A and B are shown apart, each in its own frame.
Chain A
Amino acid sequence: MIEAKNLGKVYTVKKKINFFRSEKEKVNAVKGLNLTIGEGEIVGLLGLNGAGKTTTIKMLSTLLNPSAGKITIDGLDAVKDAIKVKSMVNMIAGGERMLYWRLTGAQNLRYFGKLYGLSGGVLEDQIQNLLEEVGLTEASNTPVELYSKGMKQRLHIARGLINNPKYLFLDEPTLGLDAPVAKQLREMVKSLAKNQGKGILLTSHYLKEVEELCDRVYIIEKGSLILHDTPENITASVVKNYHVKIESSALSTSQQNRIKQSLTGCSIEFSEQGDSSEMQIIAPFDPTALIISVCIKESVAIQKLELKRPRLEDAILTLAKEKLA
């Protein structure tokens, strides 16, 4: 298990005062963050830009040393035992970096494999398996500079798996990818966690992706943890309202009043559209069952019913609005 306790990171940045003078300023990128990632678990790390997600991932992957707190990975200290920890973790970031463009796909994997201490038949088998898994077997001898963006990203994934890491950090892994490639990647991530037992930390701006994949989500803001729970619980605790839209046969004013009275605690708006009516209901609970029973009682023929369930995206937007307010 990965465990981060009271994790903190302070950057010293130079602020230019004029052409000759600058002064140093301390920026708290991460403050007192507690976080765990278990084996076979996919954990999301969300936040607006500059929240401290990438810094957190870099500390967990040993690239940066924390300014405060402690990270242990299966009992090993990520700073003191960095070399052992490095062979247990890997990171995949979105974009086209972290690959040697003048080498072929197979040569890239061979190079990184050797840097992880693999060699001979074990390394070659691993390379073939990974190339097959990411669908790059045919392009294995093509220089990376000739790869498409999707192919580079798939090779990037293979590079991240070359050392068969126990824990994997994914920083915006589907950034700029086509929908089919992104879907394929999501399937792979699920399989890595559920079938191979890898612990995965995922940051992504595609919140549907986080909702689909993550068992738990940490939401950080300016380096501090503001929420931690399952995506469903976070959504339920942040977004209070359900939106229901119903198209029905024309409603009389008395019918509208009775419906209003029956749905106490809900906000209802009616609009007429020719010989039909439309109801927009906003409720702090799922009002579907109640509205259907009221419509049956009032002999209203429902032509169309749309329920918009609150999503994680709504929760993040709500949190962002609260922050701006």
Chain B
Amino acid sequence: MWLAFSATFQRNYLVMKRAFPWSFFLGHILSGFYIIIFAYLTYFYVFKKDLSVSFSTYAGTDDYLSYVILGGLLYSFSVSLLMIASRAIITELREGTLEALLLTPSSRKGYFLGYVAQGLTRVGIEFAVITVTGYFFGLHLQNINWLSVIIVLFVLIVSTFSQALVLGSFMLYFRDTYITQNTLFVLMGLVCSITFPAHFLPEAVRWIGTIMPLTYGVDALRLVWIEGKSLSDILPYLWKMIILGIIYFPIGTFFIKRMEKYVLEKHFG
């Protein structure tokens, strides 16, 4: 597994060095930036800092700007991560390298981990840029429990990676990336408490958020970032992300393997 991991990490690093994916990089930063700007403008110029009581109750904070900026930050982080992992195999298919990859006896786990680990270096830069931008628009940066932030991010990465495997299977089945990924991303933006608490949504829609690791990740991050809560306070959120990861991972690996064979038959058979 280690060789497949290091080989894929190195390969993607070299490819990124030769042709940096500027469109994805800027696109993700801009989507985070738009959320920040929109929140800032509406907060000051539309509802003029007048928050409803229910917002504070559901959101668990009165700091609306930090709430939305952190939502945008983690949404962008999650979308980037999902795109990196889920598009791996379909990109191989499109570039005509899938057969060569599947011919090898290499570990698929190592391959995906190498892919994601390398991608995280880019996602990390995006995260830092959005955080710094957010600071200038009101993101709270004091009394943050950084260890807890790191733990939340780590658990979210693992859980989102598992979810990405399932998304990748859908992409291979439909042989499409754009519609498949964006359908999920739009849903995530709506039901995962990114710009407003999901409690404002009708019950019939809200349940979708419960199967998204991002929902629990963003709630947990806000608690440790804005409210300075300890790790024990966010344990339920961490457990929910871990459970989702445990559910998504076997489903994703099973279907990815099936879809690999499926596309080989469909595409080249």
A and B: bona fide binding partners:
yes
Binding site for B on A (CB under 8 A): 9, 11, 29, 54-55, 58, 61-65, 82-84, 86-87, 89-91, 93, 96-103, 107, 110-112, 114-117, 119, 143, 159, 163
> How many A-B contacts at CB < 8 Å in the complex?
89
Q: Knowing A29-B269, A143-B18 are in contact, say whether A64-B264 is a contact too (CB < 8 A).
A: yes
What is the chain A residue whose CB lies nearest that of B101? Answer: A115
Q: A58-B269, A100-B11, A111-B8 are in contact. List 15 more A-B contacts (CB 8 A).
A: A55-B269, A58-B264, A83-B105, A97-B96, A98-B96, A98-B100, A100-B15, A110-B7, A111-B10, A112-B100, A114-B4, A114-B106, A115-B101, A117-B3, A159-B100
Binding site for A on B (CB under 8 A): 3-4, 6-8, 10-11, 14-15, 18-19, 95-97, 99-106, 111, 261, 264-265, 268-269
Residue from the list A61, A97, A103 in contact with B15, Cβ < 8 A: A103
In the assembled complex, how far is the CB of residue A195 from the closest CB belonging to chain B, in whole angstroms? 24
For this complex, 29 residue pairs linking A to B, each with C-beta atoms less than 8 Å apart, are: A11-B265, A11-B269, A29-B269, A54-B269, A55-B269, A58-B268, A62-B103, A63-B99, A63-B103, A65-B261, A86-B104, A91-B99, A97-B99, A98-B96, A100-B15, A102-B19, A103-B14, A103-B15, A110-B7, A111-B8, A111-B10, A115-B3, A115-B7, A115-B104, A115-B105, A116-B104, A116-B106, A117-B3, A117-B106
For the complex of A and B, 5 pairs with smallest distance between CB atoms: A97-B96, A114-B7, A115-B106, A115-B104, A86-B105
Residue from the list B18, B111, B264 in contact with A63, Cβ < 8 A: B264
- Is B14 within 8 A of A102, CB to CB? yes
| Alpha-carbon gap, A100 to B94, bound state (A) | 11
> Given the complex, which residues of A lie within 8 Å of B261, measured CB to CB?
64-65
> Given the complex, which residues of A lie within 8 Å of B10, measured CB to CB?
111
> Given the complex, which residues of A lie within 8 Å of B99, measured CB to CB?
63, 91, 93, 97-98
In the assembled complex, how far is the CB of residue B171 from the closest CB belonging to chain A, in whole angstroms? 19
> Given the complex, which residues of B lie within 8 Å of A97, measured CB to CB?
96-97, 99-100
- Is B103 within 8 A of A91, CB to CB? yes
**Secondary structure class of chain A's binding surface, majority of residues:** mixed
What is the chain B residue whose CB lies nearest that of A83? Answer: B105
In the assembled complex, how far is the CB of residue B111 from the closest CB belonging to chain A, in whole angstroms? 8
Q: Which among B3, B7, B104, B106 has the greatest number of chain A C-beta atoms within 10 A? A: B104
- Is B103 within 8 A of A90, CB to CB? yes
What is the chain B residue whose CB lies nearest that of A117? Answer: B3
- Is A117 within 8 A of B15, CB to CB? no
| Alpha-carbon gap, A294 to B11, bound state (A) | 73
- Is B105 within 8 A of A87, CB to CB? yes
> Given the complex, which residues of B lie within 8 Å of A99, measured CB to CB?
97, 100
In the assembled complex, how far is the CB of residue B107 from the closest CB belonging to chain A, in whole angstroms? 9
| Alpha-carbon gap, A62 to B18, bound state (A) | 33
> Given the complex, which residues of B lie within 8 Å of A100, measured CB to CB?
11, 15, 95, 97
In the assembled complex, how far is the CB of residue A84 from the closest CB belonging to chain B, in whole angstroms? 8
Q: Knowing A63-B103, A64-B264, A91-B103 are in contact, say whether A115-B95 is a contact too (CB < 8 A).
A: no
Q: Knowing A54-B268, A58-B268, A97-B97 are in contact, say whether A107-B103 is a contact too (CB < 8 A).
A: no
> Given the complex, which residues of B lie within 8 Å of A96, measured CB to CB?
96
In the assembled complex, how far is the CB of residue A117 from the closest CB belonging to chain B, in whole angstroms? 6
| Alpha-carbon gap, A61 to B101, bound state (A) | 12
> Given the complex, which residues of B lie within 8 Å of A29, measured CB to CB?
269
| Alpha-carbon gap, A159 to B101, bound state (A) | 11
| Alpha-carbon gap, A89 to B10, bound state (A) | 25
What is the chain A residue whose CB lies nearest that of B260? Answer: A63
- Is B102 within 8 A of A63, CB to CB? yes
| Alpha-carbon gap, A82 to B104, bound state (A) | 10
| Alpha-carbon gap, A103 to B96, bound state (A) | 14
> Given the complex, which residues of B lie within 8 Å of A83, measured CB to CB?
105
